[in-house]
Structure 1
């Protein structure tokens, strides 16, 4: 990832992909099981479906409990905004109309295996990052860049763990 100088209001995005030597159905089953995600993330501590939901569907909600050295502990409610079985699973964090972040997994058959990508967008709604920017507005671009770099590393690690499980 190269320095872009993006501001939070720009809704900066990033995407990381990997190829997995496993069928798309196997990869998809791992991506859609949100109960596995805390074991694949340093930040996400626990997650559970809300309102009696048992799995992803547009409109379903889940709560995630997270922890970060600089931001402390917090929880967010996410809303599934896109769900195409076997292909796409996306959710908006907090307000779907003005999310603090949007996350998306995409699964595609490729070269006898599966291409898995994870994409994310910061903002435009307020998040923990907003408070850091409020305290140091002159450093906004650096704060955004550093957080995107953290997410890039975390996403790469998550994809690697999904790959290991799918190929096992």
Structure 2
């Protein structure tokens, strides 16, 4: 699991998952191409938090807020992260991020993972881990997390619902298309 590679030790975490009726590839593609703009709730909550809402694709959002795509295992998992001293900092050296637990105040990783359960059934999950390096950060986050956690969790659940809808629709369209094309015998 990539989470354990980049942040095995953490102070806070949030986990959500959803079952999706499709193959692993369709669910992964839907996660990788996630578009938050399909949810007015996500847009509203990001606006309230003062986060940018110009480009609500996953890729656009990650760039806007200075997160970094750390690593990807095709059709299985990808992980995003950032660290902060005063503000959010883009990660330049991924290996340094994994081992450095002293130079910043906070490290955060966020993944999307797809697990195959049956032939056409997967579980898509997302987990966020936060490691508070400095004691002052841990104290602040202990107050901040209970306030923000329900809203952060709602955003994650909405993201998973969008992934589910897109993956299942794409999968069904593909199956229908395959069944409509006459086979050559």
TM category (shorter chain) comes to 0.5 to 0.7
Structure 2: give runs of 5+ residues left out of the alignment.
Answer: 1-9, 47-51, 83-88, 92-96, 98-103, 170-185
Name the structure with the higher helix share. Answer: 2
Match of 1:110 among 112, 117, 132: 117
Q: TM-score, normalised by structure 2?
A: 0.57
* Residue 37 of structure 1: how far off its partner (Å): 3.6
Q: Where does residue 25 of structure 1 map in the other structure?
A: 25
> What number of residue pairs does the alignment pair up?
130
Q: Where does residue 39 of structure 1 map in the other structure?
A: 38
Q: Equivalents in 1 of 2:143, 2:71: separation in Å?
A: 31
Task: Give per-residue Cα distances to partners, 1:1-54, cap 9 Å, x unaligned.
Answer: xxxxxxxxx6311110110011111111111125x24435332622579xxxxx
Contact 1:63 1:77 in 2 (8 A): no
* Residue 108 of structure 1: how far off its partner (Å): 1.1
Q: Equivalents in 1 of 2:163, 2:21: separation in Å?
A: 11
Please state if 1:78 is matched with 2:67.
yes
RMSD: 3.2
Distance 1:20 1:48, change over 3 A: closer
Q: Where does residue 129 of structure 2 map in the other structure?
A: 121
Q: Is the partner of 1:90 in helix, strand or coil?
A: strand
Structure 1: give runs of 5+ residues left out of the alignment.
Answer: 1-9, 50-61, 67-74
Q: Is the partner of 1:31 in helix, strand or coil?
A: helix
Q: Is the partner of 2:147 in helix, strand or coil?
A: helix
Distance 1:104 1:65, change over 3 A: closer
Q: TM-score, normalised by structure 1?
A: 0.63
Task: Give per-residue Cα distances to partners, 1:86-137, cap 9 Å, x unaligned.
Answer: 11110112344255531100011113311100011235379xxx6xx9xxx6
Residue correspondence of structure 1 range 75-154 to structure 2 within 5 A = 75-93=64-82, 94-96=89-91, 97=97, 98=104, 100-111=107-118, 112-124=120-132, 141-154=142-155
Task: Give per-residue Cα distances to partners, 1:117-163, cap 9 Å, x unaligned.
Answer: 0011235379xxx6xx9xxx6x7534211212211111111101111
Please state if 1:64 is matched with 2:61.
yes
Q: Where does residue 58 of structure 1 map in the other structure?
A: none
Name the structure with the higher strand share. Answer: 1
